[in-house]
Amino acid sequence: MKLSLLLSLVLLAGAPSGAYPIPPQPLRKIYREADLVATVIPGATVRGVSGAFVDVKVLKCFKGKADQESIRVFYEPLVLCPPSASFPKGNTVLAFLTRGRDGLFIPFACSYSTKLISEASLRAYEGRMAELARMKESQLKAIPDAEVLEWLIKCAEHPATRMEAIYEFQGSPDYPPPLDEIAEPIRFDSLTEGQRGRLVKALLDSKELGSPEASLAEFLMPVKDRRIDSALREGLAKAIANKNSFLGNDLMEVLAQRLDIKKWSTIQKGMYEWKTDEFGERFSGYAEESKRLKVLENALALVDSKLK
């Protein structure tokens, strides 16, 4: 075994673990905290005693500088909440890294630190990060001012960066934020009328409705617009057709609130069922996919009755 490989595995054995779970880590936060933001192409991952390392080729730096064309990144591959950082061999990854001991790099925010994206999506991220680079340091960590709020609207307008805005729209009220950081949800009434209209347009222009769009529709709850309801209805029908009960549940949650479907809270219980683990303990878990889809079909009928 080469000395460098042996040293890497020894370092991994003593690498400190963070506290999990962690709240969502939006772009504004991880950009601020990263020492290096770059597109990289990973090689093969090597697993050690309590972690893994991967050598990555640096393509382009957006913040900070790499010491050389190839750098070594250490990470924990078995984290569940949120998932681990991901370095699929040969793929282009947008990585947000901090320098660890001895100049080694670490994806400090788990899966939020690595984004496997297309060229078009990368261009969207480049634009938003270029704007962050021009902001004052205080704007990267404070409650959004008018400029940052406008930046978040731009994030929400593009499908690639939409979830980065959603993280900040929702805040992280269920997690205790660091003492130097406020993670309160953004109030809908803090947006201008023009910004609200742009968010509605972004949602309606979406070619596909996924979880980011469901979350955006939830943020747009104060907007009474049948076009939004119809778009969500079509998204729900498509999720059922594609046998995606998890997305269907997300969309139905929003529809139930928007259309005041009180029966949903009752029939939704059919999405879960009591199960028994290997130790004989009973727990509530997801029902079979076919049962969950049947629940969503019944829910779709309730939506259609409201939209008549």
One domain for residues 130 and 210: yes
* CA angle in degrees (0–180, nearest 5) for 118-130-204: 55
152 and 132 in contact (C-beta within 8 Å)?
Answer: no
Range of the structural domain that residue 261 is part of: 239-308
45 and 93 in contact (C-beta within 8 Å)?
Answer: no
Tell me the C-alpha distance between 273 and 291, whole Å: 10
Per-residue CA distances from 281 to 269, 277, 284 (Å): 20, 5, 10
Tell me the C-alpha distance between 187 and 235, whole Å: 26
Q: pLDDT at residue 10 above 50?
A: no
Q: What value does the mean pLDDT of the chain take? A: 88
Does residue 229 sit within a domain?
A: no
Does residue 34 sit within a domain?
A: yes
One domain for residues 135 and 166: yes
Q: pLDDT at residue 172 above 90?
A: no
Tell me the C-alpha distance between 297 and 240, whole Å: 7
Give how many domains the chain has, as a whole number: 3
Token digits for 228?
Answer: 């939004």
The pLDDT value recorded for residue 49 is 75
Q: pLDDT at residue 181 above 70?
A: no
Tell me the C-alpha distance between 159 and 192, whole Å: 21
One domain for residues 142 and 83: no
- Count of H-run helices and E-run strands, the chain: 11, 8
One domain for residues 2 and 96: yes
Does residue 232 sit within a domain?
A: no
One domain for residues 59 and 92: yes
How large is the average pLDDT for residues 273-286? 86
Does residue 94 sit within a domain?
A: yes
Does residue 269 sit within a domain?
A: yes
Backbone angles phi, psi at 176, to 5 degrees: -75, 115
The pLDDT value recorded for residue 79 is 72
Give the model's confidence band at 140: pLDDT under 50 very low, under 70 low, under 90 confident, else very high. Answer: confident
One domain for residues 72 and 41: yes
Does residue 233 sit within a domain?
A: no
One domain for residues 158 and 201: yes
How large is the average pLDDT for residues 104-131? 94
Token digits for 264?
Answer: 């949903």
One domain for residues 48 and 138: no
Q: What is the pLDDT of residues 86-101, one digit of tens each?
A: 999 999 999 999 998 7
* Structural domain ending residue among the three candidates 116, 139, 169: 116
pTM above 0.75, yes or no: yes
Does residue 256 sit within a domain?
A: yes
Closest of 233, 218, 198 to residue 308, by C-alpha:
233
Give the model's confidence band at 178: pLDDT under 50 very low, under 70 low, under 90 confident, else very high. Answer: low
Q: What is the pLDDT of residues 289-304, one digit of tens each?
A: 999 999 999 999 999 9
* Structural domain ending residue among the three candidates 179, 195, 223: 223
The pLDDT value recorded for residue 47 is 86
43 and 56 in contact (C-beta within 8 Å)?
Answer: yes
Q: What is the pLDDT of residues 35-46, one digit of tens each?
A: 999 999 999 999
One domain for residues 98 and 16: yes
* Structural domain ending residue among the three candidates 116, 141, 158: 116
Q: pLDDT at residue 102 above 80?
A: no
Beta bridge partners of 99: 105
Give the pairing of strands 52-63 and 70-75.
Answer: antiparallel
Helix axes 193-204, 226-241, angle to 10 degrees: 30
Tell me the C-alpha distance between 88 and 29, whole Å: 24
One domain for residues 45 and 86: yes
One domain for residues 193 and 253: no
One domain for residues 130 and 207: yes
Q: Is 85 left (phi over 0), alpha (psi -120 to 50) or beta?
A: beta
Give the model's confidence band at 203: pLDDT under 50 very low, under 70 low, under 90 confident, else very high. Answer: very high
Does residue 231 sit within a domain?
A: no
